[in-house]
């Protein structure tokens, strides 16, 4: 039965996902936790994605389907989907992924047990002797990512559950292709507590049509990830101490220079120009940063 005020809004954005969306929807509807709404926002698919989604909406009043008038792209469409939500929490489940039937209930219970946390990240592998779930303050979150290499800021949106009021306050994702999630986790963790949750909640599909699969070897995307990280560390409110920040910036910039060198050696002028437009720092300053000046 539909409820007037669902606790969780599950957001599913889609573009040409006719091969996978039925399985994604069914995984949500099979959840042991039922106090949710499923909002599906299609971004102008050319296949049968919308028809498949509407078929489920006709059978279950918790499912609502929206179709964009024009293609918005990944993160703007995620923001658009959040705009339709009414729940206390936002939970992304991508149209080519799935959530285990116990996953939603587990995440909700963990978030409700830790009301101080603004958002939660699941699919986290154990790094120490702490039992999941547990919260990290800003300095702990940055230390976990940069010094203990836990990879928490590399999680895709499907791995996140976030309080809707925080999402609204922070104005959602920035329209940055591929790197929008990494940027947002950095940004949120500068101000809020994050709740780390174990793996075994969501299932991510690997396939040749995925955005990450197509672009993982793209030098521009690789560079943009490094820039997001560097900009976060360079902010005045970064919770790490100055010595640690300097060391991390040096490491990041060296990685950026390696990418630039690969681009130049391969004669990829187009990518070099895109990086130049993206990066306001001159090559000389990047070199100085890499040497620790």
From 121-125, 127-131, 135-139, 188-192, the region with the lowest mean pLDDT: 127-131
pLDDT at 1 over 50: no
- Find the mean pLDDT for residues 79-99: 97
Give the pLDDT confidence score for residue 279 in this predicted structure: 82
CA 205 to chain centre: 15
SS3 of 100-163: CCCHHHHHHHHHHHCCCEEEEEEEECCCCCCCCCEEECHHHHHHHHHCCCCCHHHCCHHHEEEE
Rounded to 5°, angle at Cα 257 from 255 and 263: 110
- Find the mean pLDDT for residues 44-62: 97
pLDDT at 215 over 80: no
Residue 137 or 204, more confident: 137
At the top level of CATH, the class of 8-206 is alpha beta
pLDDT at 28 over 90: yes
Domain ranges of the chain: 8-206, 217-290
**Mean per-residue pLDDT over the chain, rounded:** 92
Q: What is the pTM of this model?
A: 0.91
Q: Provide the percentage of residues in the chain whose pLDDT is more than 70.
A: 90
Binning pLDDT at 50, 70 and 90, where does residue 280 land? confident
- Find the mean pLDDT for residues 186-206: 93
pLDDT at 293 over 60: no
Give the pLDDT confidence score for residue 289 in this predicted structure: 60
């Amino acid at each position: 039965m539909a409820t007037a005020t669902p606790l969780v809004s599950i957001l599913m954005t889609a573009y040409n996902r006719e091969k996978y969306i039925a399985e994604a929807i069914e995984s949500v509807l099979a959840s042991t936790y039922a106090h949710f709404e499923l909002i599906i926002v299609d971004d102008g698919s050319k296949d049968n994605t919308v028809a498949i989604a509407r078929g489920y909406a006709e059978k279950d009043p918790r499912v609502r389907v929206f179709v964009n008038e024009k293609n918005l792209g990944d993160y703007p469409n995620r923001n658009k989907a959040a705009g339709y939500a009414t729940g206390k929490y936002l939970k992304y489940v991508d149209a080519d992924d799935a959530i285990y039937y116990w996953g939603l209930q587990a995440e909700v219970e963990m978030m409700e047990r830790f009301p101080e946390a603004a958002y939660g990240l699941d699919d986290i592998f154990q790094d120490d002797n702490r039992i999941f779930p547990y919260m990290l303050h800003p300095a702990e979150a940055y230390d976990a990512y940069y010094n203990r290499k836990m990879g928490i800021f590399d999680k895709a949106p499907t791995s996140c559950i976030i309080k809707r009021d925080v999402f609204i306050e922070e104005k959602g994702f920035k329209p940055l292709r591929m790197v929008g999630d990494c940027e947002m986790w950095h940004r949120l963790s500068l101000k809020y507590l994050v709740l780390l949750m174990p793996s075994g909640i969501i299932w991510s599909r690997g396939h040749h049509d995925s955005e990450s699969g197509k672009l993982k070897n793209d030098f521009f995307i690789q560079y943009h990830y490094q820039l997001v990280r560097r900009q976060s560390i360079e902010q005045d409110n970064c919770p790490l101490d100055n010595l640690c920040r300097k060391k991390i910036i040096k490491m990041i910039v060296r990685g950026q220079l390696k990418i630039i060198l690969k681009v130049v050696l391969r004669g990829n002028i187009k990518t070099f120009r895109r990086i130049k437009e993206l990066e306001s720092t001159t090559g000389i300053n990047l070199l100085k940063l890499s040497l620790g000046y």
